[in-house]
Amino acid sequence: MSASYQRGWVRARACVPGLIVIPFIVTSVLVASTASADHDPEDEPSEVILVKGQRPGPPGTFVAAPDRATPNEPDATKLLKLIPGGDTVSNGPLTGQVQYRGMFGDRISVKVDDTYISPGGPNWMDAPLHYAPRPLLDHLEMDLGIASVSAGAESIGGSAHAVLKSSEFAEGEEFVPSGEVEVGGRVADKSFIGGGILSAGNENHRAHFLGSAEIGKDFRIGDGGRVKPTEYERYQYGGGYGFRYEEHEVGFDYRYNDTKDSGTPALPMDIRVVDTHLGKIDYGGQLGPVRVDTIFSLTDVDHVMDNFSLRDAPADNADWRKNSAETRNYDWSLAGKMDVLGGMLEVGVDGHHANHDALVTNPNNAMFFVEMFDSAKKDRYGVWVEWTGEVVDHWDLEVGVRTTRIEMDSDKVDGTPADMMLPAGRLRDAFNEADRSRNEDLVDAVVKLGFAPQSNLRMELSGGRKTRAPSYVERYGWLPTQAASGLADGNNYVGDIGLDPEVSYEVAAEVRWDGKQGIHLTPRAFYKRVYDYIQGTPSEENDVIMVSTNNDDDTPLQFSNVDARFYGFDLAYGAGLPWDLQLDGTLSYVRGKRVDINDDLYRISPLRGRTTLTYDQDEWSVSIEGMYAAKQKKVSDTNGEDPSDSWGILNIYGSWEPMEWLGLTAGVNNVTDNDYHDHLAGISRVSSSGVDAGDAIPAPGVSFFARAVGTF
C-alpha cells in the first residue's frame, strides 16, 4: 500500500464511522421527541423535505434525478448508488450495469423511455442505460422490492426505468416554447458534457429536439496515475412529436446514438463504434371505462470493438481481434386499466424480439474468422393481470400473475479454428447438429399486502415467484471465449443449449415511517431462493478445455444450472435538522451464496452506504457527503474473484441559482484524493500508469467539477 494511499484512507476512514452513526443518533433523538408529542399524525401532516436529486414517485419506487451533484460520472447507472439496495457493475466509463440486491445484467428489467433495448454486444458494452446519457435524462426510477408483474417479463432481479426529457402539451392554442441547456466538466478525466432540449407545445401539439455530447480522457486516480483506456466519446440526438385530441394522445420519437472510441479496461476489447437507431410510437387514451396505453419500438445496433486501437496492441499479430456485432430488436405492449371492485385492474400483453450476430476477425489475416453468434434470437410474448386497491380500511393489496412464452433459436456457426483444430471442429459440429430451438413457458406471480394504521406509517409484506430464461450468450456460446454478458472475470465461457430457466421465490418486508421535521425511515429486508440459477461452473468437456487452453485459460467455465440464495436489508433515512440543515442517506447489505456447494456468488456488493448533510437556503445550498463500503470477503472461488478492502470518501459540493432560469453547481469529489477501488469495478486487462493488468480498477482521485443549467 502506497504512502499516499495510507494517508488518504486514514483521513477518509476516520470520517466513516461518524457518517454511519450520526444519522441514527440524530434521527433517534428526533423520533423520540416526535413520539412524545401529543399530536395525532392524522391531525397534523408530516413535513415533507425535498432532497435535491430525489423526487417523489409512484408508491414502491425510488426516483433519482441527475440534478444531484454526485455521483458525478457520465454513466447514468451511477445514480443507482443513491438508491437503497442499488449499485453499479462497471466495466468502463460508459459500460455500467444495474445491480439491485445482488443481481445484475439481464436479470434486471431495464426500460429506457418505456422500451427494452437489447445490447448490441455479447459483453454488454452498450448496456441498456448506455442509451440514457445524463444530459438527456430526466430521472431514473427503480422499483423497490419485488417488481410487479406489470413492470415487465424476466424481472427476476428487479425493474428500473430511465425517463428521458421530452416536450409537453400546454394550455391554449398558442405555442409555448421552452428549453433546457446544460454544460459541464470535471478535472479527473478532463471531460466536457453538453446537451439539452428545445421544445414547443400547445393544447394539441408538442414537438422537441434534443441532443448531447460527452467527451472524456483517461481518468486520474489517487496516486496521480491514469487508467487506460478509460477515454470516451458519445453523441446522441433526436426529436419527437405528439398530438392530443380530447382524451387521446399519440407520440412519435426517434434518437440516434453515436458512441466512438470508448475504453472498457475490464473487458477483452474496447468500443470503437456503437451506432444505434431508436424509434418509438406510443398511444394513450380513454376508451369508455378503460384507459388504454400501447407502445411499439424498434432498435437497430451496429457495434464494433477491438483489442488493438485504444490499448497496446498484442505483440503477436495473430492475436489481434476485431468483433463486429449487430442486434435488431423490436418491442411492443398493450395494456388496459379500469376500476374493478374498488381498485384498479390492469390487463396487458407484450412482446420483445431480438436477433443477434457477432463476427470476430483479424485485420492481419483475411482468412481468420469466428461466427460467435449467427442469428441467435430470443423472442418472448407475455400476458399479465394485476389488481391493486384497498381491501378494507387501512389495508391495501396488490396481486398479479404473468405468463411468458420464450422462443429461442440459432443458425449454424463456423470459424477458422474449427477447420484448424479437431477439438474446435467437434464443438462446431456438435452445436450445428444439435436441436438448437428451445421454448419455455414461464409463470410469475406477485402478492403485496400493505397496512397503514396511520397516515405517516405503512408496513408491507410481499412475496413472489419470478422467472428468467437463459440469455442467448448463455445458451448459444459454442466456443470458449470471454463473451459473457460483461461478467469480466477473466474466464473463458461456453454455453449450454439445454439450460433450464431460473425460478426464484422471494419474500420481503418493509416499514415506512414519516415523522415531523421531515424525518423518514424506511427499512427493508428480503430473502430470495433461486432454483436453476445460471452460473459458470468448471467445464468437464475435454474439447472445451483443450480449445480454451489454447486461448490462455486452462480452467474454462460452462454456464450451468445451480441453486442459489440471496438475503439482506437496505435502509433509506432522512431528517430536517435545526439551522436549515438536512440529512439523508442509505445503507444496503446483500449476501449471495451457492446452495449446492460451499461458495459465494460473483460480484456482490459489500455493506455500503451514503450520508449527506446539506445546508439549504432559498437560492443556494452546500453539501458534505460521505460514501463508504465495508470489506468484501465473501467472494466467488468459482469465478476466481478477489476480496476487496473497505473504503470511504468525502465529497463537497454546492449549488446556486442566481436567477430563476440559471442553476450553477460546483464541487470536489473524493476530497482526500483517496486511492481506492469499488468491489464492482472489475479487473483491468490492461497495464497503465494507474493500474496493472490483473489488478482491480481504481476509482477516480480528487476531481473538481462544475455544471451550469439554463432553462426558459
In the block, residue with C-alpha cell 430470443: 378
Backbone angles phi, psi at 248, to 5 degrees: -125, 135
Render pLDDT for 619-635 as a digit per residue (tens, 0 to 9). Answer: 999 999 999 999 999 99
Q: What's CA 579's distance to the chain center, in Å? A: 36
Model-wide pTM > 0.85: yes
- The lowest-confidence range among 55-69, 118-132, 591-605, 659-673 is 55-69
- The Cα 220–Cα 228 span in angstroms is 10
What percent of the chain clears pLDDT 70, i.e. is strictly above it? Answer: 92
State the pLDDT confidence band at 68, using cuts at 50, 70 and 90: confident
- Non-local (6+) Cβ contacts of 42 within 8 A are 454, 455
Nearest to 73 by CA among 669, 488, 666: 669
- Quick check: 218 and 699 in contact, CB under 8 A? no
- The lowest-confidence range among 21-30, 519-528, 546-555 is 21-30
- The Cα 171–Cα 529 span in angstroms is 51
So what's the pLDDT on residue 55? 66
Nearest to 95 by CA among 404, 487, 464, 387: 487
| 3-state per-residue secondary structure call for 656-706 | EEEECCEEEEEEEECCCCCCCCCCCCCECCCCCCCCCCCCECCCCCCEEEE
Backbone angles phi, psi at 98, to 5 degrees: -70, 130
So what's the pLDDT on residue 53? 64
Render pLDDT for 476-518 as a digit per residue (tens, 0 to 9). Answer: 999 999 999 999 999 999 999 999 999 999 999 999 999 887 8
Angle CA(135)–CA(610)–CA(125) in degrees, nearest 5? Answer: 45
DSSP state of 319: G
- The lowest-confidence range among 32-36, 180-184, 388-392, 659-663 is 32-36
- Checking if the pLDDT of 5 tops 80, the result is no
Render pLDDT for 672-693 as a digit per residue (tens, 0 to 9). Answer: 999 999 999 999 999 999 999 9
- 439, amino acid identity: N
Angle CA(540)–CA(681)–CA(131) in degrees, nearest 5? Answer: 100
Could you report how far apart the first and last alpha carbons of the chain are, in Å? 51
So what's the pLDDT on residue 44? 43
What percent of the chain clears pLDDT 90, i.e. is strictly above it? Answer: 88
- 69, amino acid identity: A
- The Cα 532–Cα 563 span in angstroms is 5
- The Cα 475–Cα 377 span in angstroms is 11
State the pLDDT confidence band at 59, using cuts at 50, 70 and 90: confident
At the fourth CATH level, the homologous superfamily of domain 51-711 is TonB-dependent receptor, beta-barrel domain (2.40.170.20)
Backbone angles phi, psi at 151, to 5 degrees: -70, -20
State the pLDDT confidence band at 16, using cuts at 50, 70 and 90: very low
Neighbours of 15 (CB within 10 A): 18
Render pLDDT for 255-308 as a digit per residue (tens, 0 to 9). Answer: 999 999 999 999 999 999 999 999 999 999 999 999 999 999 999 999 999 999
State the pLDDT confidence band at 23, using cuts at 50, 70 and 90: very low
So what's the pLDDT on residue 229? 97
CA–CA distances in Å: residue 372 to residues 27, 376, 708: 55, 10, 45
Please, what is the average pLDDT of the chain? Answer: 92
- What's the burial of 254, exposed, middle or buried (CB within 10 Å: 0-12/13-18/19+)? middle
